[in-house]
Amino acid sequence: MTDDPSALPPGVSLDAGWEPRTECPSCFSRGVRTFFHVDDIPVHSTLRMQTRAEAMDSPRGNLTLAFCPACGFVFNTRFDPLAQEYTERCEESQGFSPTFNAFARSLAAQLIERHDLHGKTVLEIGCGKGEFLLLLCQLGGNRGIGIDPAYRPDRTPPDVADRVTFIQDLYGPKYAHLAADFVACRHTLEHIGPAGRFIRDIRATLADRRETIVWFELPDVYRVFREGAFWDIYYEHCGYFSLGSLARLFRQSGFEVTELESVYDNQYLLITAHPAPGATPCALPAENDLPAVTQAVERFPRVCAEGLSRWRRFVTDAAHRGEKVAVWGSLSKGVSFLTTLKLIDEVEYVVDINPHRQGFYMPGTGQRIVAPEHLAQYRPDHVIAMNPIYRNEIQADLDRLGVKAALHAV
């Protein structure tokens, strides 16, 4: 494998640079190092595209990742929040996967037991379609408040609708009056450009309610860098955290961090905190990861170049041999995989088990999103799973359908 720039897909650059005047959106220090650039990629991964033409013409933007050596935060210096659209057109649910549902249910049960969430009020910022909030309310007998502009009322079962209030809006200081015993935020912070200001706003809305528990879940960037997982880098994710950089952000914003965990095969980070009178000092061993993350960032261009070369060669060689390749997973990982590698005609279909995504098209590359059953007639030679944690689940579906394709996982 090689990191020769000529071997990279068009629009991808691994050039490193130093920007002394650029401010970190997390710790507000100046001076960052850039190390990964991708041009002309979709700014939306979860919006449902009705036609192939709409998908091919979907809005595009550019991405440059920068690393803050002071706190370890990574962010897209070219992110434009005005390019984002979080509406009912978004379909981001992972709730149709048995593997993911088992994880979410177990996680909800652990939170209820660990924090005695029984008969309490739970507020979820960025609740999506409300699936996890409903779990917390159902399993713990809690009351819920969910805030998300992409929420859809038709996705809430009527038997729990009276227990949960949903607000179709972005969270902000105007919701400071919404008192809760437990504040949850799953896979939302990485979509917010001014990460430091956002966490400070949350701390300000809690005022002197020191007993409130704040709990966040988001992707782990250390794994992304260690594996060279370019498919986990995309426009909507404008901020990337490790355990340490996440804890540093919370501590400098006026929280006491009580728990840090890596879960879901080290793909997700969990942080638990509660309001403190001011900034708090580092106290947990997992927070001391800045040297390891710095080293991973330095190695990323080489590891990423190898992955880009390997996967593009695999798909294009298969296409040249007349073999059919299908991608399994139409959300952001699939979008990033196809657009970063510039794969259009080489892949005809993308599979997704979410019925609300089937029949639509992949932004930027135009593949039609189909149900697993479509593979029974298409008969691909290769299926590429966008997340290895679902490999057994996907293989079971292929076996059920009598599809003999070789299954590969990124």
Number of domains in the chain: 3
89 located within any domain: no
Give the span between the Cα atoms of 68 and 157, in whole angstroms. Answer: 44
| Residue 70 near residue 64 (C-beta atoms within 8 A) | no
Domain shared by 271 and 341, yes or no: no
277 located within any domain: yes
Give the domain-ending residue among 80, 108, 132.
80
DSSP at 329: -
Give the pLDDT of residue 33. Answer: 98
Whole-model pTM? 0.95
281 located within any domain: yes
Domain shared by 27 and 126, yes or no: no
Domain shared by 148 and 271, yes or no: yes
Domain shared by 49 and 177, yes or no: no
In the chain (410 residues long), the average pLDDT of successive 10-residue segments reads 64 95 98 97 96 97 98 98 87 94 98 98 97 96 96 86 92 92 98 97 93 98 97 97 98 98 97 97 96 97 97 98 98 98 97 98 98 98 98 98 98
- Among 273, 371, 290, residue whose Cα is nearest residue 330: 371
Domain shared by 62 and 102, yes or no: no
304 located within any domain: no
State how beta strands 325-328 and 349-351 pair: parallel
Domain shared by 143 and 111, yes or no: yes
Domain shared by 122 and 233, yes or no: yes
191 located within any domain: yes
Give the pLDDT of residue 4. Answer: 54
Tell me the residue range of the domain where 142 lies.
Answer: 98-293
176 located within any domain: yes
Give the domain-ending residue among 50, 80, 110.
80
Give the pLDDT of residue 1. Answer: 36
Beta strands of 276-328 (E only): which ranges?
325-328
137 located within any domain: yes
Give the pLDDT of residue 264. Answer: 98
Q: What is the DSSP string of 78-98?
A: T--GGG---STTB----TT-H
Domain shared by 142 and 251, yes or no: yes
Give the domain-ending residue among 80, 111, 136.
80
- Among 226, 344, 227, 241, residue whose Cα is nearest residue 287: 241
CATH of the domain at 118: 3.40.50.150
Domain shared by 118 and 226, yes or no: yes
CATH of the domain at 381: 3.40.50.720
Domain shared by 64 and 112, yes or no: no
Give the span between the Cα atoms of 216 and 239, in whole angstroms. Answer: 14
Domain shared by 196 and 69, yes or no: no
Domain shared by 33 and 146, yes or no: no
383 located within any domain: yes
